[in-house]
């Protein structure tokens, strides 16, 4: 028998797929993706608090920014889900 060795990345990918962990791993990328979607200038304005059951909780430092982000909520949800590759984010709660 000739067993050719597998690359570790392939083994990890198979393990993740077999256990259905793709979405949980993708959810861990949300804070990074949030900063990408909004851009570097917003990092001092708002921060990701947590992601729970499809809801992304964002702390916003000022009321005018909270209002602006609320108006763009659906656009932000769409952009995040496109980057994640799954429809994980169902709602964004700005506080």
The DSSP bridge partners found for residue 32 are none
Prediction pTM value? 0.78
pLDDT band of residue 26 (cuts 50, 70, 90) is confident
> 32 is written with which tokens?
């990074």
pLDDT at 62: 93
Q: What is the pLDDT of residues 56-95, one digit of tens each?
A: 999 999 999 999 999 999 999 999 999 998 899 999 999 9
pLDDT band of residue 1 (cuts 50, 70, 90) is low
Q: Which domains, from first to last, does the chain contain?
A: 26-94 (3.30.300.180)
- Tell me the CA distances in angstroms from 4 to 10, 16, 27, 86, one per residue in order: 13, 21, 34, 33
């Amino acid at each position: 028998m000739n067993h050719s060795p597998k690359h570790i990345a392939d083994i990890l990918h198979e393990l993740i797929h077999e256990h259905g962990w793709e979405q949980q791993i993708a959810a861990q990328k949300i804070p990074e993706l949030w900063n990408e979607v909004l851009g570097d200038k917003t990092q001092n304005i708002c921060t990701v608090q947590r992601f729970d059951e499809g809801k992304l909780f964002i702390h916003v430092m000022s009321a005018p920014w909270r209002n602006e982000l609320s108006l763009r909520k659906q656009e932000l949800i769409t952009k995040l889900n496109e980057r994640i590759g799954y429809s994980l984010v169902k709602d964004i709660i700005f506080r």
